[in-house]
Structure 1
Amino acid sequence: MKTLKGPGIFLSQFIRHQAPYNSLEGLAKWASGLGYQALQIPCNHPAIFDLEKAAASQTYCDEVSGLLANYGLMVSELSTHLEGQLIAVHPAHDVAFDSFAPAAVRGNNARRTEWAIDTVKRAAVASAKLGLRAHATFSGSLAWPYLYPWPPHNAQLLNEAFAELARRWLPVLDEFDRQGVDVCYEIHPGEDLHDGVTFERFLASVNQHPRCNILFDPSHLHLQHIDYLQFIDIYHSRIKAFHVKDAEYLPNGRSGVYGGYQRWIDRAGRFRSPGDGQIDFRGIFSKLAQYDYDGWAVLEWECCLKDADSGAREGAEFIQRHIIPVADRAFDDFAARDVGSASVRALLGLNQID
């Protein structure tokens, strides 16, 4: 069995204009001081990590790795959550998502999609130069506006949506395959890949592509009332990345899983810092150890109550406490005996029969 790695921390929610959160070195020093061993780095902040430079220059990637090593850190994964989202945007969301794209492609769905595909491909090259095995992203969404449809379910619409999603992603998956890196889709409401069934449908659409994998985040499954422990049993061979994020669902008589257009703090389902919600992390870490997951356990801090610095400080210790150093021998090895076939037959009483 293998011991998973950690703790790591996803930087997206911590990047700010103020020091130490406005430079890679500042963030590295801060995270190292909290006990983290790795950073999951988003690709949409060139001042923190310049993706274009990383894809073109091994020297730049070596400099990034060297800087982090000075603080006892490494890169767990690169993240293109926003860029992956832009690979497939339904027109209903065009205006909302346009701000995530460069000014030159805003207002043009086709050009924005092309830019997003090229950018995620660059992340594949950069990941390989950094020696990474996994990459974190979103799938984007063409069918999401029809999640709870009225007029009723339209099979042809959904077939076309997933066929188009696959058409856009297959060249990206092939590039990641050339680079030897897994694409890990965060299973997330708002994305077309938001549960096990939709992941399976996409996986079939991309011909069971070996690089099509999962970023496991139990919070998004819990808020959909999905059994996230059984999810690991079913999909463990495809789980290649892991966000440690907590959540709670508090049933009430006024709103449910859709949230009632309310702020996070007022919703029945809401995100919490690890240990403050309802997620069974002991069960999760046990399952991942059982199935030989040897990737990173990465904190993704999103809490409707606790401040970010407290969440980050507590998160490192929380992850470290839950990592299971797996055994290199069975506890009853001491009682094992190497016996010959005659002794085995005697144990079974077969010699008497003979």
Structure 2
Amino acid sequence: MKMIKGPAIFLAQFAADTAPFNSLNAICRWAASLGYVGVQIPSWDGRIFDLDKAADSQDYADEVKGIAAEHGLSITELSTHLQGQLVAVHPAYDAAFDGFAAPQVRGNPKARTEWAVDQVKRAIRASRRLGLTAHATFSGALAWPYIYPWPQRPAGLVETAFDELARRWQPLLDYADEHGVDLAYEIHPGEDLHDGASYEMFLERVKGHRRANLLYDPSHFLLQQLDYLAYIDIYHERIKAFHVKDAEFNPTGRQGVYGGFQSWVDRAGRFRSTGDGQIDFAAIFSKLTQYGYGSWAVLEWECAMKHPEQGAREGAEFIKQHIIQVTEKAFDDFAGSGSDERMNRKMLGLD
């Protein structure tokens, strides 16, 4: 067994134009002051990270690592959630997702996709320069508008969408393999990879690619009413990253899983700060430890009620309390009586 590393924090929801959230040095100092020992960096946020430099300059990559290390922090992963989303965008979402892209490719879906692919490649190179072996991202979505269709989907629609999704990601997975980096897809509503079944559809099309792996975030599974503990049993060999994010699901006579037209605070399913929701993190940390997950536990703060700084402050201690220091001996070693093959055969009545 391995010991999970942490606590760490995803900086995307905290980066801002005001101190201490407007530079890598300041935000690392803040994270360390709360008890974090790792940071997951959003690669798109130029206030704290320059992806172009990190992809092509070892000196800059070493500088980034050095800034984190000054505060006792390690970099856990880079994230391309926004750029990965743009690898595959259904036309219905063109306007909404254009804001994720560089200004020069907005309004041009083909150029936007090419830009997104290049961004993911840069993040893969930057990950290698930073000494990272996993990279967090989204798959994007072509079939998502047809998740609960009326009228019914024409035959082959979903299959065609997944064929195309795999065609776009296959070269990126190969590129990641060349650089020794796992792509950890966050399985997430809004992405074509939103549950285990859809992930398997994708995995089949990329021929079980060894770099097509998973970021485990149980909050998205609770809101779908998917068994998030059984998911670990099924996919533990593919889990390369872990977001610690809580959620709750409280269906009423008025709404259930499809309550998304309501504000977040009024939904039956909503994200909560760690410890405030319904997710059994003790069981999650136990299962991940049981299966030998030895990478990072990273807080992702998203809550409809609690202030982010309170969520961050409480989250560090929450993760620390849940990390299991793995035992080096069996609990009943004290009662061992010793054995050898002759004794074993005698006890089995074989001699």
**What TM-score do you get using the length of structure 1 for normalisation?**
0.98
CA distance in 2, matches of 1:270, 1:145: 21
Contact 2:251 2:257 in 1 (8 A): no
- Structure 2 unmatched runs, 5+: none
Greater shift, 170-179 or 221-230, is seen at 170-179
The residue type paired with residue 71 of structure 2 is: Y
Q: Alpha-carbon deviations, 1:268-314, whole Å to 9, x = none?
A: 00000000000000000000000000010000000001000000000
Amino acid of the structure 1 residue aligned with 2:136: A
Q: Which amino acid aligns with 1:341?
A: E
User: Displacement, 1:346?
Assistant: 1.6
Distance 2:58 2:159 in 1: 41
Residue in structure 2 matched with residue 181 of structure 1 by the alignment:
181
Secondary structure of the corresponding residue to residue 6 of structure 1: strand
Partner SS, residue 127 of structure 1: helix
Please show how residues 223-262 of structure 1 align to structure 2 within 5 Å: 223-262=223-262
Per the alignment, in what secondary structure is the counterpart of residue 125 of structure 1? helix
Output the CA distance in 1 between the equivalents of 2:154 and 2:182. 32
Q: Which residue does 2:133 correspond to in 1?
A: 133
Q: How does 1:41-60 map to 2 (within 5 A)?
A: 41-60=41-60
2:27 is matched with: 27
Alignment map for 1:284-299 (pairs within 5 Å) = 284-299=284-299
- 1:350 corresponding residue in structure 2: 350
Q: What CA distance in whole angstroms lies between the structure 1 residues aligned with 2:37 and 2:149?
A: 44
Structure 1 pair 132/151, CA: closer, same or farther in 2 (3 Å)? same
Residue 115 (structure 2) pairs with residue 112 (structure 1): no
> 2:74 maps to what in 1?
74
Secondary structure class of the residue paired with 1:259: coil
- Cα deviation for residue 260 of structure 1 reads 4.5
> Equivalents in 2 of 1:3, 1:341: separation in Å?
34
Once residues 344 and 285 of structure 1 are traced to their aligned partners in structure 2, the CA distance between those partners, rounded to angstroms, is 36
> 2:241 aligned with 1:263, yes or no?
no
Q: Distance in 1 between matches of 2:39 and 2:3?
A: 18
* Shift in Å, 1:329: 1.7
- Residue 337 of structure 1 deviates from its aligned partner by 4.5
Percent identity of paired positions between Structure 1 and Structure 2:
63
Deviations 1:39-66 (A, max 9, x none): 1000111221000000000000000101
Provide the aligned length of Structure 1 versus Structure 2: 351
Residue 150 of structure 1, CA deviation: 1.4
One-letter amino acid of the structure 1 residue matched with residue 182 of structure 2: D
Amino acid at match of 1:307: H
> CA separation in 2, counterparts of 1:212 and 1:296?
18
Question: Residue 258 of structure 1: CA displacement?
Answer: 1.5
Query: 2:278 corresponds to which letter in structure 1?
Result: Q
Structure 1 residue 256 displacement after superposition:
1.4
1:264 partner amino acid: W
Aligned counterparts of 1:2 and 1:260: Cα–Cα separation in 2: 39
> Any runs of at least 4 consecutive aligned residues in structure 1 with deviations exceeding 6 A, and if so which?
none
- Counterpart CA distance in 2 for 1:304 and 1:188 is 18
Q: Measure the CA separation in 2 of the matches of 1:239 and 1:71.
A: 28
CA RMSD of aligned residues (A): 0.9
Deviation at 1:251, TM superposition (A): 1.2
- Cα 1:102–1:330 shift into 2, 3 Å: same
DSSP-derived class of the 2:110 partner: helix
1:243 to partner: Cα distance: 0.3
Q: Deviations over 1:196-228 (max 9, x none)?
A: 000000001111000000100000000000000
Between the aligned partners of 1:219 and 1:340, the Cα distance in structure 2 is 49
Q: If the length of structure 2 is used for normalisation, what is the TM-score?
A: 0.98
